[in-house]
Structure 1
């Protein structure tokens, strides 16, 4: 009996639907389920004050904060320390309602800031004011700057990140700003926003923050949407958004710094790529630094994040990106591109995290170095022709150290960490997976010794 092509086609489509239904059932919670938000009530006082960069160059600064109650007017009051003059700027306020409660999110822009000056400020809602905070602008007379990079924070309630971040602040008090690669919060709920803010409450009002969205800042669904509190907390995104992509760039000293949103559904990545190419093409700065949440070259599987790689990596290479900062995969990894003779070249790709959660990894031969079962932070120091990357463990031990030197002779990537032992401790795996990890880790150690 001969079966028609039409019946074969519809039979094949039926099998695809059955397989798709099974996969969706297995992955339903991962792809579509959002936990109910815990109820909350915010007090009327201004709180969770966050200083960020603005949208008008390296001298621009924004501030955001939240409050409860019924807000009529948001204001920013500030003074140049020692001047005796006080300015009051009208801010903006927006009512946000979520499943657990409501809040007013507020933001304002500083005006006429100058190089090297220090400023004191507080924010208002109606007749209620925050505490006074202060910050210092970068000097104009040097090409030197530094910043702290932290991967995923993603802490549980009553977690340990505050002690971690306090230690970083103590170690590097003069850093210019902080960059976080997404998953700043564990879930899109107010209680996790409060937990995340408490972890950086001594940093956020006084050092500018740049934060890329992570998948934990997204509300799951057929089309994922960014948690509404995110863009108002990091208010530079309100003006830098491009075709519904949460992207941002700033020229700071002799660097162009770019943040991308790798969480978008595939059809959004085309327009994000368009924006990235235009931004890189227009940059005349010596250094180009990009931050996004998902690693371009995954350490959890070679096909993971492949759309992100296809969209962005060719542009990184074509337009001379020096450093790509990433998170998401809760381990440490550093990768450099290689020429045919094995010489290291840019871009340098860095994966890091500061979360108490550790994930499995797959050892990828493209990478130079890994680290597991620890929390890490990075100090990036740019001085003239040299960009130096140093990674530290939670106990402040140096874990990785390398330089990119860029001058008339070309670009040189120098690895100073070859004699620093790698930490390849087994994560939470058990049974067959644990044995497989140990075998792969041993192969990696032998590979490193051969090299």
Structure 2
């Protein structure tokens, strides 16, 4: 075990941090010392070391194309014995004869080194598909094929559908977040998309990186292979590096571009992490807040966002990214994003803005505050965009001072999932707790003047906030100050 831990640290060292030789006598800065200390200790591992690559496919994740009525894509992992990326695809039939009319589809493989040793991630794109059709596919490892998985392509026109919105999974991925994801699928039939607001994993030193991605895949299991995933990057999808001049920077971790076969229609500097997909009357636009704030891509993303919204012919426009415009835990809003993107959202009349990062829950429709928002609804005024922040994993932050008066609804120390039902002229948004209790909800109705928001009259549970050291479930408060 000690040797495995040592090898894990060596592999992680190679891609997480690039310490350059320092001139003799040069003192390490506090930041460098912290990095060195973090890297010198053993990285925790998943019990039993269960995630080694094998000769059969695993980590199978379906993604939508830019036009998911006609294109889907799949990514999966094998050991290095399976050098070719191969899938079989067929229009689904109701008898056990799928292989008779299946066609072979090939793709590309990319190596990823990890604490478990080398692996190959494969990506295959299914193109030329028929709209609103059920297909079956399986993928190949050196020892044979996976089981058959089924997916339905989107309809070519606007048509009602349901999607699932998840906040940060990040911590307690298998221990806690898995139950939330499984509850969402168990309690809500025919989910057609899953959108993730970033920080799918922690990718720091809480757990070995490969173990984290193994737990993330196990948490969603076969649901990730049959329901297209629409993920945004968070800051934890990036890893810290040191530049030649000794300054800190970030780079995208190696798992993201391997694990997700996403559309390549995003902003030029960040095509791996920005994209859009049009699904049955909704344009989902995915941005990368970390690259915008830390890596100098804000203008490129803002220009692309504006152009992508301007060209949208969808009934609804939903924007997904990690760092929230209006925070519910951090003392200050994300000013860089607020200044650059909020005016575009308002000019282009974005309907929903889905975010994570703050490890609390917030629904906000007016930066003037809760009372102003309620008055606008009572007066029948148009409202929007609606800004949402949510969390699915176990790390929790305490609510900030503004949470008492600015958002329409908040929660702390609560794991959540959101079910969104889309119709041509109405969006029904419902927020549920980990055990399936309805916590919040609203309807957005499209009128000639714009969107009108109405609070639901369905019964919801009491507001969930800590009272001193006591949490909303009666145990200790697990929400810590940010």
**3-state SS of paired residue (1:263):** helix
Q: Distance in 2 between matches of 1:125 and 1:418?
A: 49
The RMSD of aligned alpha carbons is: 3.1
* Cα 1:116/1:251, change in 2 over 3 Å: closer
1:424 to 465, 468, 471: 465
Comparing both chains, which one has the higher relative contact order based on Cα–Cα distances under 8 Å and sequence gaps of 6 or more?
2
Residue of structure 2 aligned with 1:180, choices 196, 199, 208: 196
The CA distance in 1 between the partners of 2:431 and 2:121, in whole Å, is 35
Q: Tell whether the 8 Å contact from 1:151 to 1:326 is kept in structure 2 after alignment.
A: yes
Q: Name the residue aligned to 1:120.
A: 136
1:213-262 C-alpha deviation (Å, 9 max, x unpaired): 11121101322111121022111155645213520111222221111111
Residues 405 and 294 of structure 1, relative CA distance in 2, 3 Å threshold = same
**Of 66, 85, 96, which aligns to 2:101?**
85
2:335 equivalent to 1:290: no
Tell me if 1:389 matches 2:429.
Answer: yes
In the alignment, structure 1 residue 218 sits paired with structure 2 residue 242? no
- Describe how 1:43-122 pairs up with structure 2 within 5 A: 43-82=54-93, 84-98=100-114, 101-122=117-138
The answer to whether structure 1 residue 136 and structure 2 residue 152 are counterparts is yes
Q: What's 1:434 paired with?
A: none
- CA contact 1:73–1:126 (8 Å) conserved in 2: no
CA offsets 1:293-323 (integer angstroms, 9 cap, x no match): 1111112235342112112111111110010
- Residue 202 of structure 1 deviates from its aligned partner by 2.6
Q: C-alpha distance in 2, partners of 1:72/1:128?
A: 13
Matched, 1:251 2:284: no
SS at match of 1:276: helix
TM-score by length of 1: 0.83
Alignment CA distance shift 1:301-1:26 (3 Å):
same
Which range moved further: 142-151 or 403-412? 403-412
Shift of 1:337: 2.4
Q: What 5-or-longer segments of structure 1 have no aligned partner? A: 1-23, 431-436, 441-451
Cα offsets for 1:360-415 (capped at 9, x unmatched): 12032331111111111101111121111110111211111111111225321112
CA–CA separation in structure 2 for the residues paired with 1:236 and 1:268: 19
1:357 Cα deviation after fit: 1.6
| 1:142 to partner: Cα distance | 5.7
Work out whether 1:346 is the aligned partner of 2:384: yes
Sort the Cα spacing of 1:295 and 1:42 in 2 relative to 1 into closer, same or farther, 3 A. same
In 1, Cα distance between the equivalents of 2:157 and 2:419? 22
The TM-score with structure 2 as length reference comes to 0.78
